[in-house]
A and B are shown apart, each in its own frame.
Chain A
Amino acid sequence: MPSRRVINDVNGNVLSRRQRTLGSYCALSNTYQLSAAGPVGIADQKRECESAVNSKRPVNLDLSKFHFPLPAITSILHRISGIIIFVGVAFMLYGLDVSLSGEAGFERVSEILSGFLAKLIVWGIISALLYHLVAGIKHLIMDMGIGVTLEGGRLAAKLTLVISGVLIVLAGVLIW
C-alpha cells in the first residue's frame, strides 16, 4: 500500500486538507500579529484560529458529485443485494411451503413460475443471490490474506463484477 502523509492535530486526530490549510494560514498570520498587535493580539488570534479549525462545520457530502472507485461500488452492491435477499427469503419460503404441500401445490408453483412477472422476480432474487455469493467469496479469499493491496482490491472488484455479470446472464438464459 502506498504511504500517505497523515497530519495530526494536538489531540492526535487526523486533519482534513481544509483544516491543514487553515492551520498553516493561522500559523502564518500569528507571525504577522507578533509585531503588529503584541501578546494580547496573538492570544485572540490564536483562539479564533483554533475555534475555526476545531469547529464542527457542515461537510459537503453531495454523493452525486463523488467519484466512487470500483471497490466502493462492489461494496454498496453487496449491501443492496443482501437487503434484496433478505426480503426475497419471504418469497422463497412461500414458494417452498406451497410446493411441498402436495402434488397440487407443486403444480401451482410451477404454473405461477411460468408467468413473466414471476420469472422477473425470481431472476431478480437469483441475481442478488449470485452477486452476493461472488462478492462474499471475494471477502473470504481476501480473509486468507490474498490480494490485500490497493491493486488487489481493484482487480478483485473487477473480477466480482465480471464473474457475477456472466452468472446473472446465464441465470436469465436458464430461466427463460
Chain B
Amino acid sequence: MVNSATNFGRSGVQDWMVQRVSAYVLALYTLFLLGFVLFTDITYETWGGLFAQTWFRIFSLLALLSIGAHAWIGLWTVTTDYIKAAMPRFLVQAACGLTMFVYLVWGVQILWGQ
C-alpha cells in the first residue's frame, strides 16, 4: 500500500489505473496525429482546420490532461526511486508539477485562445 502524500491517487492501485487509462488516451491521440500527418497534405488550411474543430479541441484537452496525470505518476515513481533525500525530491516533484500546470494552461490558451 502506497502511503505517500505526494502520489497522484489515494492508493497505488488507483495510480496504476489512472496510468493505464491515460496511456490508452495518449496512445490513441498519438496514433491519430501520426496518421493525420502521414496521410494528409499538411498546409495551414488542413492543420488549422483540424484544430478548429470542437471535437478535436476536446480530444486535445483530454490528451493534455492525460499527459499531466501520466507524467505526474511516472515522474513521481522515478523521483521516488532515485532521489532519496526528502527536500530535493520534493523540490524536483514540485518543479514537475508546476511544469505540468503551465503546459495545461498554455495548451488551453493555444486551443481556445487563437
Residue total for A at the interface (Cβ-Cβ under 8 A): 23
Q: Which residues of chain A are within 8 angstroms of B110 by Cβ–Cβ distance? A: 93, 96-97, 100
Where chain A touches its partner, the secondary structure class is helix
Interface-side segment among B6-14, B23-31, B83-91: B23-31
Interface SS of chain B: helix
Residue of A at shortest CB range from B81?
A: A79
Contact A89 B20 (CB under 8 A): no
- Evaluate contact between A101 and B103: CB separation under 8 angstroms: no
Most buried by B among A99, A100, A101, A107: A100
Chain B: which residue is nearest A87 at the CB level?
B99
Q: Which stretch of A31-39, A49-57, A132-140 is in the interface?
A: A132-140
B interface residues with partner A (beta carbon < 8 Å): 20, 23-24, 27, 30, 38, 43-44, 47-48, 51, 67, 71, 74-75, 78, 96, 99, 103, 106-107, 110, 114
A-B contact pairs, 5 of them (CB 8 A): A82-B71, A86-B74, A86-B75, A89-B103, A106-B48
